[in-house]
Amino acid sequence: MVKFLIKAGFLLIILVAASAGDPDKGGSLFTRAFFGTPADYRQTHQTLDANDTALNSLAGARAGQMPANSTSAPMVSPPRGLTEGPDRSFPDPHSAIVQATRSNPTCATHLAGGTMPNVTAARDQRAQILCNAAFAVQTNPSARTPLWTAHRLTPGSVQAARGTVRSAEFFEDARVSSQFRATLSDYRRSGFDRGHMVPSGDMPGDQPQQETFSLTNIVPQDPVNNRCFWSDIEMALRNYVFRTGQTIYVITMPLNRALPARTIGGGVVVPSHLLKAAYEPDTGRSIVFMAENVAEPDWTFGTIDHLKRANGLELFPAAADGGGLIEIDPRQSRTRGGCPETRQPRTS
């Protein structure tokens, strides 16, 4: 059984710990909040509901030290509209969103109900809320990656994104103190892609797309995973919105269950897993994908209710309980050649 752990103290990284053995005694790779295959969504819900008693609750652990500070590489100027501001740190993430929206009223529009994800690690007082034109980020100072990102997809934004030419450069974000941000040199010759949490392909226009290339929106991602399976998920969500005319809110998070954490460069943490969740306010439906950060990942899916019951994570606190599953199979959206065949979703 998987336990979501939060390392408190100086190292605040979301951890996913997995144990071995019989799945019924705690041996599945992923939390049993995710269960089933896209071939039978309704049976998936019945199975999940029947097994809720076996799910583990959120736990906490205190360990580790903050990675050593790295020397900043020469700054790359941010794109127009993304200007340097004072460092902001907040003792409480829910007051943070209030403070952040005072300087940028658009920030709350990227979050369902204007409410931030309820993540214990978000209470790192060094963390910042960054409001961009079309998405929001909470930084993870210990990992030098985003803790979570949030954005909204509408039929109009998807249409505009399809007409936006991808032409931008990665840059270091001057809004974050140099001791808590990744540098361009951290990723050089690391063997990892600079993987977008908010995809540039979701962004409706030049400035929003350019802003996704900030390293505050980037994690070290396996190159094949980034260009194949994870890209399939991103494309599947865009296709769903365009096909159905629905609006969805998206939360993306890097997860790490490796102890000690694997790092590149001056201490940028390499996530062991990636999570992407989508919530559809008009219907209350949702879907959460979680996958290993490897070329041919084990992966699984569920709803935000299943995730909440499993380990207390509320990615969309404003969402009502009891919503159904958005029926999306990322394997049906692949257009890129040369990718490995996607595995069946993990069901135990």
**Amino acid identity, residue 239?**
N
What is the residue-averaged pLDDT of the chain?
Answer: 74
Residue 31 has what pLDDT?
43
The per-residue b/e assignment along 56-87, b for 16 or more CB within 10 angstroms, e otherwise, is bebeeeeebebbeebebbeebebbeebeeeee
Query: pLDDT tens digit string along 88-138?
Result: 333 344 444 445 444 555 689 999 999 999 886 556 788 999 999 999 999
Residue 337, classified by CB atoms within 10 Å of its CB into exposed (0-12), middle (13-18) or buried (19+), is: exposed
Residue 104 has what pLDDT?
57
Residue 321 has what pLDDT?
86
Query: pLDDT tens digit string along 19-43?
Result: 323 323 333 334 433 333 333 333 3
Query: pLDDT tens digit string along 281-336?
Result: 999 999 999 999 999 999 999 999 988 888 778 999 999 888 899 999 999 877 77
The model's pTM is 0.74
Q: Is the pLDDT of residue 14 over 60?
A: no
Is residue 159 within 8 Å of residue 107, measured between CB atoms? Answer: no
Residue 121 has what pLDDT?
59
Q: In the chain, pLDDT over 70 holds for what percent of residues?
A: 68
Whole-angstrom CA distances from 157 to 12, 105, 276, 300 are 34, 19, 19, 28
Domain ranges of the chain: 66-332
Main-chain phi, psi angles of 35, to 5 degrees: -160, 130
Query: pLDDT tens digit string along 260-289?
Result: 899 999 999 999 999 999 999 999 999 999
Residue 122 has what pLDDT?
56
Average pLDDT for 50-62: 26
Residue 325 has what pLDDT?
95
Longest dimension (CA), the chain: 55
Question: Six-digit token pair at 226?
Answer: 């980034």
Main-chain phi, psi angles of 45, to 5 degrees: -60, -45
Q: How many residues does the chain have?
A: 348
Query: Can you name the residues that pair with 263 across neighbouring β-strands?
Result: 269
Confidence of residue 154 (pLDDT cuts 50, 70, 90): very high
Q: Is the pLDDT of residue 152 over 70?
A: yes
Q: Which residue of the set 151, 196, 273, 306 is catalytic?
A: 196
Looking at domain 66-332, which CATH architecture does it have? 3-Layer(aba) Sandwich (3.40)
Residue 159 has what pLDDT?
93
The strand order across the sheet containing 14-17 reads 14-17, 3-8, 59-62
**Residue 273 a catalytic site member:** no
Q: Where are the beta strands (DSSP E) in the chain?
A: 3-8, 14-17, 59-62, 129-131, 135-140, 145-153, 193-196, 218-221, 248-255, 263-264, 268-269, 273-280, 285-292, 299-302
Residue 102, classified by CB atoms within 10 Å of its CB into exposed (0-12), middle (13-18) or buried (19+), is: exposed
d(CA 157, CA 81): 19
Is residue 220 within 8 Å of residue 188, measured between CB atoms? Answer: no
The gap from C-alpha 171 to its chain's centroid, in whole angstroms, comes to: 20
Average pLDDT for 66-87: 30
